[in-house]
A and B are shown apart, each in its own frame.
Chain A
Amino acid sequence: MTGKIPIAKTYKLFIDGAFPRSESGRTFSVNNPEGELIANVSQASRKDFREAVRAARAAQLSWASRTAYNRGQILYRVAEMLESRKIEFVELLKSIGVNSRSATREVEDSIQRWVWYAGWSDKYSQVLGSVNPVSGPYFNFTVPEPTGVVGIIAPTEPSMLGLISRLVPAIVSGNTVVVVSEGQSSLTSVTIGEVLATSDVPAGVVNILTGDQKDLLPWMVGHLDLNAVDISGISPETDLTLLEETASNVKRVVSRQVNEESLELISDFLEMKTVWHPIGR
């Protein structure tokens, strides 16, 4: 036998800790800049989206009720695993047309950013929460709580840093997420899913769908069990009147640039709860 038979990879969805194909059976192909096929990728349907939200909802309470230290440790461990798979990510980014130097830089920045947000897990509530002066015999505190289930339309470029910039600030506080990734960036997203699957992040905390954001956006904005959507990666041609639906179901809509690294991005998906506690005997 001479030579190896090349095995082209089919990228699957990442739902509830597993890698299913799309329920619809659809796939799309991702080519490199020279037009050669890199891989086939599952194309998620509205039913895959429904399953992903269900998984995210089921995982949310237990993820949020872990201690801040535990969530932080789990996220640090993901950063360690990204570090050990650095070469794989650099090669992946190169295959979709990022030049070698930028690819290395993007992977390193992504890992740094992951660590930066992981570090906030046991700190953001001290910084964002407060003890409020009130005129009466009460302690009055404001404490941040996670919003719940967040849908993220991941930026397509830069694909790795873009996704990580949106993903980590959302999950660090106890939210669970459903990510929708499109085109070439799908490969990076699913590969990050593969890292998460072998880390200690519980199943359902991060769910990754690949496909057409145009297909899935109406279902995202309409879904009553999705508490917020992050549309940072929305394509410029999208008809934004679609987002009016989010007003009818009181869904938070957030859009951010990915080149920032800030505590505000964590507070995007937090709710402030104010508690009155009587003083005295």
Chain B
Amino acid sequence: MPTSTITFRETVSSIKVIPVDEVSLEARAASLATRSIKTTSKRAALHLAIRCMDLTTLEGADTPEKVASLCQKAKRPDPSNHGVPSVAAVCIYPEMVHHAVEATEGSNVKVASVAGAFPSGLSTIEARTADIADAVKRGADEIDIVLNRSAFLAGDEQRAFEEIVASKDACGKAHLKVILEVGELGSYDKIRQASVLAMAAGADFIKTSTGKIPQASSLPRVLCMAEAVRDFAQQTNISVGIKAAGGIRTAKQAWHYLVVIGETLGTEWLSPEMFRIGASSLLNDVLLQLNRLDSGSYSGPDYVTVD
């Protein structure tokens, strides 16, 4: 491990980690979820959701062909409609990176790879950084790693911090997203602390979940992270992105997240550079809603691709 000279305590001593008021956080998230999006803005919201989407497949059964068809869909989500933008990135396992690089060549679609003993993060840091460096070498533009929750929850914040610093080194030019796995952290206070820890260690993005446990992204959890990002930006002048992932399946859920991000962080964050939604089945629902806007009739799953 490259010995990090920075310590967690020194780095974060200047950053205030304020305790989270659970009741008002949840109330705020619930009230933002009732915000209605008028028909005139719906198309823009749906297009933004697509532009900010990391189309994901993280299964043991992934094959090069499956990744290739996912990339095709990422580039041109609706083959019958030129107006629908491509998604931000495809998110896959390191083993699939070169297939995705090949399939997305010449498009704006980025290749994001999970790496570093995803989804638990419980390997030696040497193995994890080697995995990251390998994914970068294969051509990944973005790397999604996991926070070492085991160390973090055991109170060894310094170690969790150093591991992210080391991972960031291994990334080189690739963007680093740090998955906090909020469902395993247990409280909003911990989510806030983990967010600050990851941002201080150099994460370009903080991400909610791996999608591998049932307790995944939720609106209050993302709001909690967004508030941490906002305060971090105010105190350090560093703008960190947010990625919500896990359990986001409907267009309606997606625009609730857009509202939360827009209201908490401002429109500057409503772009693929600063906000991502990680999902696999969401894209089809967004396409159905776009069909509904275009045709005036409700659409159905027979009219989008089977993934």
Residues of A within 8 A of B (CB): 50, 53, 57, 219, 222-226, 245, 249
How big is chain B's contact interface, by range? 10 to 19
Contact A57 B301, beta carbon cutoff 8 Å: yes
Q: In the complex, which residues 261-307 of chain B have their Cβ closer than 8 Å to any Cβ of chain A?
A: 291, 295-303
| Residues A225 and B302 in contact, CB atoms below 8 Å apart | yes
Query: Among the listed B297, B301, B302, B303, which residue makes an inter-chain contact with A222, where contact means beta carbons less than 8 Å apart?
Result: B297
Residues in B235-269 with C-beta less than 8 Å from chain A: none
**Bound-complex Cα distance A50 to B298 (A):** 7
- Residues of chain B with a CB closer than 8 A to A53's CB: 298, 300
User: Which of A53, A222, A225 counts the most chain B CB atoms within 10 A?
Assistant: A225
Kindly list chain A residues whose C-beta atoms are within 8 Å of the C-beta of B295: 224
- In the complex, what distance in Å separates the CA atom of A53 from the CA atom of B292? 14
Within the complex, the shortest CB–CB distance from B205 to chain A, in Å, comes to: 33
- A223/B297 in contact, CB under 8 A: yes
Which residues of B in the span 41-72 have a Cβ within 8 Å of any Cβ on A?
A: none
- Closest Cβ of chain B: how far from A56's Cβ, in Å? 11
- CB neighbours of A225 from chain B (8 A): 298-302
Report yes or no: B296 in contact with A224, Cβ–Cβ below 8 A: no
User: Can you pick out 15 interface pairs between chain A and chain B where the beta carbons lie within 8 Å of each other?
Assistant: A50-B298, A53-B298, A57-B301, A222-B297, A222-B298, A223-B298, A223-B300, A224-B291, A224-B295, A224-B298, A224-B299, A225-B298, A225-B299, A245-B297, A249-B297
Q: How far is the CA of A240 from the CA of B295 in the complex (A)?
A: 21
Residues of B in contact with A (beta carbons under 8 Å apart):
291, 295-303
Chain A residue numbers with a CB within 8 Å of B291 are: 224
Q: Which residue of B lies closest to A50 (CB)?
A: B298
With CB as the reference atom, state the residue of chain A lying closest to B297: A222
- Complex Cα distance, B296 from A239, in Å, reads 20
User: B296 contacts which of A50, A57, A222, A226 (Cβ < 8 Å)?
Assistant: A222
Nearest 4 pairs between A and B by C-beta? A225-B300, A222-B297, A223-B298, A224-B300
Expressed in whole angstroms, the minimum distance between the Cβ of A224 and any Cβ of chain B is 5
Q: Are A219 and B300 in contact (CB under 8 A)?
A: no
- A225 CA / B301 CA spacing, docked (Å): 7
> Given the complex of chains A and B, what is the CA–CA distance between A226 and B297 in angstroms?
11
Chain A residues contacting B296 (CB-CB under 8 Å) are 222
A50 and B251 alpha carbons, distance in the complex (Å): 14
Residues of A within 8 A of B299 (CB): 224-225
Q: Which of chain A's residues has its CB closest to B250's CB?
A: A54
Q: Are B298 and A57 in contact (CB under 8 A)?
A: no
CA distance A219 to B297 in the complex (A): 7
B residues within 8 A CB of A226? 300
CB distance from B251 to the nearest CB of A (A): 12
Q: In the complex, which residues of chain B have a beta carbon less than 8 angstroms from the beta carbon of A249?
A: 297
Report Cα–Cα, A224/B303, bound state, in Å. 8
With contacts A224-B295, A224-B302, A225-B301 known, what are 6 further pairs, Cβ within 8 A? Answer: A57-B300, A222-B296, A222-B298, A223-B297, A224-B291, A224-B297
What's the Cα separation between A249 and B299 when bound, in Å?
Answer: 10
Complex Cα gap A234–B149 (Å): 61
Residues of chain A with a CB closer than 8 A to B301's CB: 57, 225
Q: How far is the CA of A53 from the CA of B300 in the complex (A)?
A: 9
Minimum distance in angstroms from B187 CB to a CB of chain A = 32
Residue of B nearest to A218 (CB): B297
Task: Find the residue from B291, B296, B298, B299 having the highest chain A CB count within 10 A.
Answer: B298
* Residues in B whose Cβ lies below 8 Å from that of A50: 298
Distance in Å: Cβ of B282 to nearest Cβ of chain A: 15
Q: Which one of A219, A222, A224, A245 has the highest number of Cβ atoms from chain B below 10 Å of its Cβ?
A: A224
How many Å lie between the Cα of A174 and that of B297 in the bound state?
A: 25
CB-CB under 8 A from B298, the residues of chain A are 50, 53, 219, 222-225
Q: Considering only CB atoms, which chain A residue lies closest to B300 in the complex?
A: A225
B271 to chain A, nearest CB (A): 31
Set of chain B residues within 8 Å of A245, measured between Cβ atoms: 297
Q: Which residue of B lies closest to A221 (CB)?
A: B297
A111 and B85 alpha carbons, distance in the complex (Å): 55
B-chain residues with CB within 8 Å of residue A57 when the two chains form the complex? 300-301
- Closest approach, in angstroms, between the C-beta of A57 and any C-beta of chain B? 7
Minimum Cβ distance to chain A for residue B305 (Å): 15
A5–B303 alpha-carbon span in the complex (Å): 53
CA distance A277 to B302 in the complex (A): 27
Chain B's closest residue to A49 (CB) is B298
